[in-house]
Amino acid sequence: MKELQYDAVVIGGGAAGMAAALELEADGFTCAIIERENHLGGILMQCIHNGFGLHEFSEELTGPEFAERFIERVTKSKIAVYTDTTVTQFTAPHSPVAVHSLHCVSPSGAMRIQSRAVLLAMGCRERNRGNVRIPGSRPAGIFTAGLAQRLVNIEGYIPGKEVVVIGSGDIGLIMARRMSWVGCKVKAVVEIMPYPAGLTRNIVQCLRDFDIPLYLSSQTTGIFGNDRVEGIEVTPMQNGVLAPDKSFRIDCDTVLLSVGLVPENELSRAAGVEMNNVTNGPSVDSSLMTNVDGVFACGNVLHVHDLVDWVCEESRRAGRFAAQWLRGERPALQIRTRAGSHVRYVNPARIAPERENQIYLRSMIVKSDAVLELRLDNRVVRSIKQRHVQPSEMISLKIGPKDFEGHEVNSDSILEFIIN
- Backbone phi, psi, residue 315, to 5°: -70, -35
Torsion over CA: 179, 181, 186, 192 (sign): positive
| DSSP 8-state code for residue 286 | T
Q: Look up the CATH number of the domain holding residue 40.
A: 3.50.50.60
* Helices (H) then strands (E): counts for the chain: 8, 28
Please indicate, yes or no, whether residues 272 and 247 belong to a single structural domain of this protein: no
Please indicate, yes or no, whether residues 18 and 121 belong to a single structural domain of this protein: yes
80 pLDDT more than 70: yes
- Backbone phi, psi, residue 294, to 5°: 85, 5
Within 10 angstroms of residue 297's Cβ, the number of other Cβ atoms is 31
Please indicate, yes or no, whether residues 168 and 56 belong to a single structural domain of this protein: no
Rounded to a whole number of angstroms, the distance between the first and last alpha carbons of the chain is 58
Please indicate, yes or no, whether residues 200 and 216 belong to a single structural domain of this protein: yes
Task: Check residue 125 and give its pLDDT.
Answer: 94
The domain boundary, picked from 330, 350, 371, lies at 330
Is the entire prediction scored with pTM above 0.85?
yes
Instruction: Share the mean pLDDT of the chain.
Output: 95
What is the three-class DSSP state of 187?
strand
Please indicate, yes or no, whether residues 141 and 224 belong to a single structural domain of this protein: yes
How large is the average pLDDT for residues 97-121?
Answer: 93
How large is the average pLDDT for residues 241-253?
Answer: 96
Cα dihedral 349/364/174/43 (nearest 10): 10
What is the three-class DSSP state of 255?
strand
Please indicate, yes or no, whether residues 352 and 413 belong to a single structural domain of this protein: yes
Please indicate, yes or no, whether residues 63 and 91 belong to a single structural domain of this protein: yes
CA distance 303 to 261: 10
pLDDT, tens digit (0-9, with 9 covering 90-100), for 125-180: 999 998 888 999 999 999 999 999 999 999 999 999 999 999 999 999 999 999 99
Please indicate, yes or no, whether residues 39 and 88 belong to a single structural domain of this protein: yes
Strand 100-106 vs strand 109-120: parallel, antiparallel, or unpaired? antiparallel
CA distance 332 to 176: 50
Longest dimension (CA), the chain: 69
Beta bridge partners of 253: none
Task: Check residue 97 and give its pLDDT.
Answer: 65
Q: How many domains does the chain have?
A: 3
C-alpha distance from residue 195 to each of 134, 201, 212, 339 (Å): 20, 14, 16, 21
The domain boundary, picked from 303, 330, 357, lies at 330
CA distance 296 to 315: 10
Could you tell me what percentage of the chain is helix, strand and coil, using 3-state DSSP and rounding each to the nearest 5?
25, 35, 40
Task: Check residue 261 and give its pLDDT.
Answer: 93
The domain boundary, picked from 209, 244, 259, lies at 259
CA distance 39 to 83: 6
Task: Check residue 240 and give its pLDDT.
Answer: 87
Using 50, 70 and 90 to split pLDDT, how confident is the model at 95?
A: low
How many whole angstroms from its chain centre is CA 390?
A: 17
Using 50, 70 and 90 to split pLDDT, how confident is the model at 93?
A: confident
Please indicate, yes or no, whether residues 172 and 240 belong to a single structural domain of this protein: yes
CA distance 356 to 351: 9
One-letter amino acid for residue 191 of the chain: E
CA distance 85 to 267: 14
How large is the average pLDDT for residues 75-101?
Answer: 89
Please indicate, yes or no, whether residues 15 and 118 belong to a single structural domain of this protein: yes
Q: Exposed e or buried b for every residue in 239-273, given b needs 16+ CB within 10 A?
A: eeeeeeeeeeebebbbbbbbbbbbbbbebbeebeb
Name the residue range of residue 201's domain.
128-259
Task: Check residue 264 and give its pLDDT.
Answer: 95
Q: At what angle do helices 63-76 and 308-326 cross, to 10 degrees?
A: 20
C-alpha distance from residue 131 to each of 128, 280, 306, 395 (Å): 5, 14, 22, 27
Least confident of 92-96, 261-265, 279-283, 293-297: 92-96
Using 50, 70 and 90 to split pLDDT, how confident is the model at 355?
A: very high
358 pLDDT more than 80: yes
Percentage of the chain modeled with pLDDT above 90: 91
pLDDT, tens digit (0-9, with 9 covering 90-100), for 191-231: 999 999 888 899 999 999 999 999 999 999 999 999 999 99
Task: Check residue 330 and give its pLDDT.
Answer: 84
Please indicate, yes or no, whether residues 311 and 396 belong to a single structural domain of this protein: no
Torsion over CA: 268, 272, 276, 280 (sign): positive
How would DSSP label each residue in 81-137? EE-S-EEEEEE--SSTT--EEEEEEETTEEEEEEEEEEEE---EEE--HHHHT--B-
Using 50, 70 and 90 to split pLDDT, how confident is the model at 380?
A: very high
Beta bridge partners of 186: 163
Please indicate, yes or no, whether residues 253 and 267 belong to a single structural domain of this protein: no
92 pLDDT more than 90: no
